[in-house]
Amino acid sequence: MSIAQESIIKKPIKKRFKRTPYLLVLPGIGWLFLFFLFPLSTLLATSLQKPAGLSPDDGYLPAFKVSNYTDALAEYYPQFFRAFLYSGIASVVCLLLAYPIAYYMAFRARKYRNLMLVLIVAPFFASFLLRTNAWKTILSGDGLVVSVLNSFNLLPQERILNTSLAVIAGLVYNFLPFMILPLYTSLEKIDPRLIEAAGDLYSPPSQRFWKVVWPLSLPGVISGTLLTFIPASGDYINAELLGSIKDKMIGNVIQSQFIDLRDYPTASALSFTFMAVILVMIYLYIRKAGTDDLV
């Protein structure tokens, strides 16, 4: 009886609203098709073009020049490698810094939780270029940080600016909030009673963490890592402002090929290879986590 009733009530509603979700997503998905997916395909087309003349002003002609890829990779594989190395290290450091503070906010901070959230987000409003530039002042040779570290002989090169250390530190600084926020969101969802229950069952603190908290926070760990690693690997601001010529990453190459040298095919080939690597990583992630928790 009750089941029959439910189906009577539910059916007309379901039928009437079937179009709604599609109408709701239409503008957004349409937009992303037009200005995200379609441009990626033009990028692919551009990456196979050949120059029409000797100078970039002559433009490029449609072609199927696969050697654009092999040439570009042969020349720029160190920058590729460096981008993934630096952003990999930066993501690990971010995770190590972000987990304790996210944990503290989720389980301990109570009164100060919102204040801490605001302080983590507020830097976004002061220009990120200016903040990265401020690190130049902080880390400069006559600054406090360098002189203290030098007096303990902790710096092999006696400076921080224009070293890979500065670039990685800059990446950590810039992308730390993107690690803290998803971690906090997933930690905050954990019912503290689960941890108490584990304690009641005589599980020691370390076990309580590794068997209860850590597994439940994994979605946050994964999305935080993706949200730091991917933008960091494409970043070129930190390498440009804080690093030396030997610290250039793939982002620097793509930017200068596109904007300064106007070698669009090479730049597109590099971008497309880069995107392919990232798509593989996302594919592996989705296979593990499914599409439900993506956004």
Partner 1 sequence: MKIIKLMREKTLQVFSVLVIVYLMLPLAVIILLSFNKPKGRQNTSWNEFSTDAWTNICRDQTICSAFATSIKIGLLVTLISTIIGTMISFALIRHRYKGRGSTSLMVFLPLATPEVILGASLLALFLNIFIPLGFWTILLAQITFTISFVVVVVNARLAGMDSRLEQAAMDLYATPLQTFRYVTFPIALPGIMAAALLSFSLSFDDYIVTVFNSGRVVTFPIYIWSAAQRGIPPQVNVLASIMFLGSLLLVLIASLIIKRRKAIQV
Please give the residues from 173 up to 232 whose contact with partner 1 meets the rule CB under 8 A. 173, 176-177, 185, 205, 226-227, 230-231
| Interface with partner 1, residue 152, by CB under 8 A | no
By CB under 8 A, residue 289 contacts partner 1: no
Alpha-helix runs per DSSP H in the chain? 2-17, 20-32, 38-47, 67-107, 113-121, 128-139, 144-151, 164-188, 192-200, 205-208, 214-234, 237-242, 250-255, 264-289
Kindly identify the residues of this chain, within the stretch 42-71, that bind partner 1 according to CB under 8 A.
Answer: 42-43, 45-46
Contact 95, 226 (CB under 8 A): no
Amino acid at 287: R
The verdict on 130 binding partner 1 (CB under 8 A) reads yes
CB of 4 to partner 1, least distance (A): 19
User: What are residue 281's DSSP bridge partners?
Assistant: none
Q: Is 278 one of the binding residues for partner 1 (CB under 8 A)?
A: yes
Residue with tokens 């007096």: 151
Q: Which candidate, 193, 187, 168, places its Cα nearest to that of 101?
A: 187
Q: Does 148 bind partner 1 (CB under 8 A)?
A: no
54 vs 292, beta carbon nearer partner 1: 292
Give me the least distance between CB of 68 and partner 1, in Å please: 13
- For residue 112, the 8-state DSSP code is G
Of 153 and 245, the one with the shorter C-beta distance to partner 1 is 245
Measured from the CB of residue 169, what is the shortest distance to partner 1 in angstroms?
Answer: 10
The yes or no reply on residue 73 touching partner 1 (CB under 8 A) is no
Q: Which residues contact 285 (CB under 8 A, 6 or more apart)?
A: 222, 226
Give the sign of the dihedral formed by CA 215, CA 217, CA 222, CA 228: negative
Q: According to CB under 8 A, which one of 52, 73, 126, 280 is a site residue for partner 1?
A: 126
Is residue 116 at the binding interface for partner 1, with CB under 8 A as the rule? yes
161 touches 136 (CB < 8 A): yes
- Write each residue from 76 to 105 as x if it is in contact with partner 1 (CB under 8 A), else as -, in one continuous string: ---------------------xx-xx-xxx
243 in contact with partner 1 (CB under 8 A): no
Residues 8-47 that bind partner 1 (CB under 8 A): 17-18, 20-22, 24-25, 27-29, 31-33, 35-40, 42-43, 45-46
Which residue, 153 or 168, has its beta carbon nearer to partner 1? 168
For residue 50, which phi and psi values (nearest 5 degrees)? -120, 150
Q: Residues 52, 122, 197, 218: which binds partner 1 (CB under 8 A)?
A: 122
Residue 166: what residue type?
A
